[in-house]
Structure 1
Amino acid sequence: MDVYGLFGARGLLPGVSERAIAALGLTEMEALEAIAEATTVESGLRAIGILPGTGGAPYRNRLMYRPPALSAPITTILPAGYQGDPAGASTATDLLFLAPAIPRVSGFNLTKGRNVRLIGGRIDYNPGTGSRAIQWAGISESIFIEGVAVNLIRRPSDAFSAGGGAGLYPDVYLQNCWCNGLRGENATLHPDFFQLSYPIRNFYSHKTTFTTNYQGFFLAAQSAITGNLVIDESNAYCLDNTAADSGYASAYWFSDSVDQWNNTSHKIVCRKIYVAPGTDRTVRDRVTIYAPGYPDGRGVLSSDEQGQFVWYPDLYPRLSDGRGNPAKFREGTPPGGDYCRENDVGSGYGSPGYR
């Protein structure tokens, strides 16, 4: 969209930018981004708060993705313990899960559903068996998880794993989610913040924060990806790992081999990604993409006025920031603090609304 053509021709752009910066604390770039996604002058003004909006929060705090609509969903109030498929669930039924007011302690395993939604809730994961706090498979259309806090007590465990099955390729949404306690304790279990174990169409993530001494987003195409991968505003804290046979792994992992990269075509969009790499590592050690020109999976360590970052210049435009530039994975923490804070999600969560 031509931002200047839309607003400038009507004399609105200078005034909008000034008021947005002064009254709402937005940077000029944030104001322009908000306006650029608008389809009308009115919606652009609403997006940055000049006119009253519907999100209930400033533009910068709203989420990128609205939950897909549900049709006559089976509604289930989650127990504190284990949750499996609700009665009547199938790949033709929508499922709505309501989080309890107290933290859950056990696993959440689905094997079927059409559009599935969970907003809010906390999991202090400490089951007798199992290795994933949330494992949803066999979903046919969409998976929407927002505002969930996961504290992994029993370890090693994954926080989230979700997708489809044979002939099923859902869109997966993961936003405003926080996790602590990802621990690799042996060579056979590889804990992840999100583990891609099942076929998907698109993966959309916005505002996530996690702490790990092992892995984080594991989005290597071990299962089919028919659409694209998008991670926007995510930061990871990587801890030193002294456990036997644990080694060091990556917070953001996108390809297992050069052959895998060559035999897939999905695009990867990564924007505003920050990695605190640990005491004896750099951000280069915490991102992995095995691709032509990168036989060890590690990118190029560079720096600019904002500090160090790792990037893969030869993989652009397939790997990008979605705005016409190569993706950069920055070392450190976001300038404004964590993208998702523990106290802002979990039990009693209320969504800030959507852009």
Structure 2
Amino acid sequence: MPMLGGSTIRIKPTEAIIAPAFNDGDSKEQILTALENAGVIRPPAVPYRNRLLFSPPALSNPITVNLPTGFQGDPAGSSTSTDILFIAPGVPRISGFNLTKGRNVRQIGGRVDYNPGSGSRAMQWAGISESVFIEGIAINLIRRPSDAFSAGGGGSLRPDVYLQNCWCNGLRGENAGLHPDFFQLSYPLRNLFSYKTTFTTNYQGFFVPPQSEITGDIHIIKSNAYCLDNTAENSGYGSAYWFSDTVDQWNNTSHKIICRDIYVAPGTDRTVRDRISIYAPGYEDGRGVLSADDGGSFVWYPDLYPRLSDGRGNPAKFREGTPPGGDYCMETDVGVGYNSPGYR
């Protein structure tokens, strides 16, 4: 204890001093909250429980780009050896974003009211060598049908992709035409880290089957989807979360899928079982087992555990309805003027 003039100075410890002593995320949150409430440590500006799970990878001498409201392509000087920091404008963007190369690339905040004359994706970042970090972005798909986000590598490139605290409305598709997604896996990647996402769709949402190579794992934590009724023929069973196309595809891959705190509002004439697709042995139609517990109805795939899990030693459960505390990502909390709450 520090001494001054023979007197002891009592310094209240900070979270930064105490937090590294704990490992488990939930336990850390509970312990730190209890210590804050008891006055043992000084509470930070943003409570631990309100912060985001994944922090952005470091950038090295990045190219900084102030985004226009219109179309954005590769900035001058970009390559698979250059880091790029994109700064969103103070008004919504209206056009697409097609990035085809970069090492570590990042955008935090911004809104896209996607209404271009052509194109089918609001944000498509491909050919990235190390990491993609997207946080705090709101996308309203005015032009339909369109994907919201697509990201990954290409050739031998396998980046980590982070999609965090993002919101989307306006996903539209049909079985006979295009199949827009909230996140479309079209390129190879190492790991997908997704945390706190909310989207509304009348067809598909997270489409992450290994059509392109996945060398790491898939993490989707705290995500909720609103599925609207779809009157197009044979289009009522679009999947909000879709992880494999065929049993053979499942058998020929080994990446883990971690899904935790997933909620699906399935539409007026569907259940959550209609909105999850994993084609695997024992689930040839892609649909899991509809069950219920104290938390309500959920669908799960008991035979796929532990490859499909909640990341905490339990099978993954996709729950019907909406999160008890409200949407994981609110439109009003992201977009133009976004300030990150920080990271755990």
TM-score by length of 2: 0.89
User: What 5-or-longer segments of structure 2 have no aligned partner?
Assistant: 1-22
Is the CA contact 1:49–1:58 (under 8 Å) kept in the aligned structure 2? no
Q: Deviations over 1:184-219 (max 9, x none)?
A: 146231010000000000000000000000100000
1:344 corresponds to which letter in structure 2?
Answer: D
1:151 matched to 2:135: no
Is the CA contact 1:49–1:59 (under 8 Å) kept in the aligned structure 2? no
The size of the alignment, in residue pairs, is 322
Task: From 198, 216, 219, give the equivalent of 2:205.
Answer: 216
Is the CA contact 2:29–2:48 (under 8 Å) kept in the aligned structure 1? no
1:65 corresponds to which letter in structure 2?
Answer: F
Pairing 1:184-203 to 2, within 5 Å after superposition: 184-185=173-174, 187-203=176-192
- Using a 3 Å threshold, how does the CA distance of structure 1 residues 283 and 99 change in structure 2: closer, same or farther? same
Pairing 1:171-182 to 2, within 5 Å after superposition: 171-182=160-171
1:86 matched to 2:75: yes
Task: From 232, 236, 249, give the equivalent of 1:260.
Answer: 249
Is the CA contact 1:126–1:152 (under 8 Å) kept in the aligned structure 2? yes
2:268 is aligned to: 279
Task: From 301, 307, 318, give the equivalent of 1:312.
Answer: 301
Task: From 93, 96, 110, give the equivalent of 1:107.
Answer: 96
Is the CA contact 1:156–1:183 (under 8 Å) kept in the aligned structure 2? yes
The separation in 2 between residues aligned to 1:251 and 1:227, in whole angstroms, is: 22
1:3 is aligned to: none
2:279 is aligned to: 290
1:119 corresponds to which letter in structure 2?
Answer: I
The separation in 1 between residues aligned to 2:37 and 2:287, in whole angstroms, is: 38
TM-align CA RMSD: 2.2
Is the CA contact 1:34–1:48 (under 8 Å) kept in the aligned structure 2? no
The separation in 2 between residues aligned to 1:350 and 1:334, in whole angstroms, is: 23
1:350 matched to 2:331: no
1:303 is aligned to: 292
Partner of 2:336, secondary structure, is coil
2:17 is aligned to: none
The separation in 1 between residues aligned to 2:72 and 2:288, in whole angstroms, is: 41
The separation in 2 between residues aligned to 1:342 and 1:205, in whole angstroms, is: 17
1:69 corresponds to which letter in structure 2?
Answer: A
1:230 is aligned to: 219
Q: Deviation of residue 61 (structure 1)?
A: 1.4
- Using a 3 Å threshold, how does the CA distance of structure 1 residues 42 and 243 change in structure 2: closer, same or farther? closer
User: What 5-or-longer segments of structure 1 have no aligned partner?
Assistant: 1-30
2:84 is aligned to: 95
1:93 corresponds to which letter in structure 2?
Answer: T
- From the two aligned structures, give the one with the greater helix fraction: 1
Is the CA contact 1:78–1:99 (under 8 Å) kept in the aligned structure 2? yes
1:132 matched to 2:111: no
Is the CA contact 1:178–1:209 (under 8 Å) kept in the aligned structure 2? yes
1:58 is aligned to: 47
Is the CA contact 2:32–2:48 (under 8 Å) kept in the aligned structure 1? no
- Using a 3 Å threshold, how does the CA distance of structure 1 residues 47 and 285 change in structure 2: closer, same or farther? farther
Which 10-residue stretch deviates more, 186-195 or 262-271?
Answer: 186-195
Partner of 2:273, secondary structure, is helix
The separation in 2 between residues aligned to 1:222 and 1:209, in whole angstroms, is: 24
Pairing 1:237-252 to 2, within 5 Å after superposition: 237-244=226-233, 246-252=235-241
1:22 is aligned to: none
1:289 corresponds to which letter in structure 2?
Answer: I
Partner of 2:57, secondary structure, is coil
Is the CA contact 2:173–2:180 (under 8 Å) kept in the aligned structure 1? yes
1:67 matched to 2:81: no
The separation in 2 between residues aligned to 1:51 and 1:74, in whole angstroms, is: 39
